[in-house]
Structure 1
């Protein structure tokens, strides 16, 4: 594969604050902020995020992970801001390792310049404070950094993002499914969750179907996964759920009741690696299909490194 020269992209400040030093948001008559509790609210949250980030796939992603995202013990709390009863802004706070991270403060274009983003940020800090978190962190653009400084945040460094150019399939040397299979790539049966690439699902590994869960540690050419065997019954149910999902997606319909039932049944099996799971590195390549998936699986293959 040819080498790629990366150009520096967006630069963001790494900021933090003690929650006790950040002022309380308090009530505001023109904006009500509350935690997302229902699938309908989560859909509104995803719609705002998708519009602000120009990422339509966010709507699909949050629809598929709704049971986990809405669970009371979910580490991420999603917040919605309502202006005269209409959802116009959103934000996320994520609890991990004793730190509360604020992410994805977003506002619909028609509701900007009203300080709604600041209100959402303070609401997130209020949530962190109420949950007993002392340290709150976020990333801010150079334009927004002074705003967060006024709220009590301090800059402790900078992140620079390096966008990776997409190399056309025809320049990779292998473009068809048959060619990819010939160099060790294998079939992916099911994709249960996706965010910046496959997160969870079922794929052949050394010719045997196995569950996989991405560990979110990124490397130059592949990702780290936890993998474990899948029994015949679970595989059949996963494939049934996948076919129902694809049919609903292609028809533009809401997920059928049977799919909701299957997702609830399979969630514990496909999202929590057992103690016997092993770690592996995997590469992903799309095949020649113009569609993202069909009833047999996604239009990409996996290879163990």
Structure 2
């Protein structure tokens, strides 16, 4: 009995030592941050903001790779199947939580094939329109949608901005046609060009176009108004009670990644995202810095998955 307890304790001690040694030696090669969307979106902006500081901290080259396709599933699947121990996924965590509910079949299981490392930032969605749209608030936009067709640009079918748009549509009885894109940058670009009239997207990527006068903002999807747009009412203020949505950017790694390595990456990312330089850069564009431990991330992801599953069911959104 005593010998058995001793053997188990020794085994656990050796495992901890091995994990610590592995984390100390890591990284041994170039680190890839995969963004499963086109360049220019919120996830891409954050990936490029942290890549330099992360490279400096780990004393290893860090590159950002954009792998768009299949509404973000192409890049996510690539990371889920990566076995080099040096590939990270930086994405909209809410969108990833939605994926399993929207798609009838996926080549990966986000809950089993990926391990949450940490959260980085949150930005509310902005409801914006092309400046030519003759509406200055949500009520006027809804009324206009009953008189003439309005194309609603979505970053991807089944994305958080898409489902937020569906929720607003159902609550207000608005009428618009959804036009899917392969990422936020393309959806923003076509709305700026006037090819689509309405867009809901993360504030981080959309605010610069509002500030430049290329898009007109009608509402913010946050419980309270945001300081950078203090005169813009929330969507909840405009009749959609309790409405709140947004884009959560976080980092994940393949499930097989050693816990000690995950902990090391999590600690560095938490430090970097809270550093004055990075924090101020993101806050000035409308994002709020958020940090979570891997355990907190796992709890958050499961809660998001359940919440969005309900929204998907109500909206009848499904992709074969």
Q: Provide TM-score, normalisation by structure 2.
A: 0.24
Higher strand share: 1
Q: If the length of structure 1 is used for normalisation, what is the TM-score?
A: 0.25
The higher relative CO (CA closer than 8 Å, separation ≥ 6) is in 2
